[in-house]
Amino acid sequence: AAGVIQSPRHLIKEKRETATLKCYPIPRHDTVYWYQQGPGQDPQFLISFYEKMQSDKGSIPDRFSAQQFSDYHSELNMSSLELGDSALYFCASSLTPSGALDNTDTQYFGPGTRLTVL
């Protein structure tokens, strides 16, 4: 079965550079979520999109922005990178928003993009 695809899988950037991470959800899934996992930490929710609109926002820095496109893929844009941005960035997708009153669709995770900022 098709899974969530993330690219690139690994990325190395210098401080103050920009980076763009891409996420392709499972076919028919209309919701994507971005998570950041720092070394030794649990995943932290950044932002989510449902039907191309931002549906929820977590601890996403102002230097980061994201969007969901008409084909439902999503991109996380990160500017003015800092050393502390080095982390594993996961994207997940679901069919309808988790937490909606009439569904419990599970989020399915991609393999993650490991970002290293030097």
Binding site for other proteins (CB under 8 A): 3-4, 31, 33, 42-45, 48, 50, 55-56, 58, 90, 97-99, 101, 104, 106-112
Angstrom distance (rounded) from CA 39 to CA 87: 7
The smaller minimum CB distance to other proteins, of residues 72 and 90, is found at 90
Q: Which is nearer to other proteins, 73 or 79 (CB)?
A: 73
Nearest approach, Cβ of 8 to other proteins (angstroms)? Answer: 15
Measured distance CA(84)–CA(61) in Å, rounded: 11
**Residue 25 carries which DSSP code?**
P
User: Environment class of residue 35 by beta-carbon count within 10 Å: exposed (0-12), middle (13-18) or buried (19+)?
Assistant: buried
Q: What is the DSSP letter of 52?
A: T
Q: Which is nearer to other proteins, 45 or 86 (CB)?
A: 45
Minimum CB separation of residue 116 from other proteins in Å reads 16
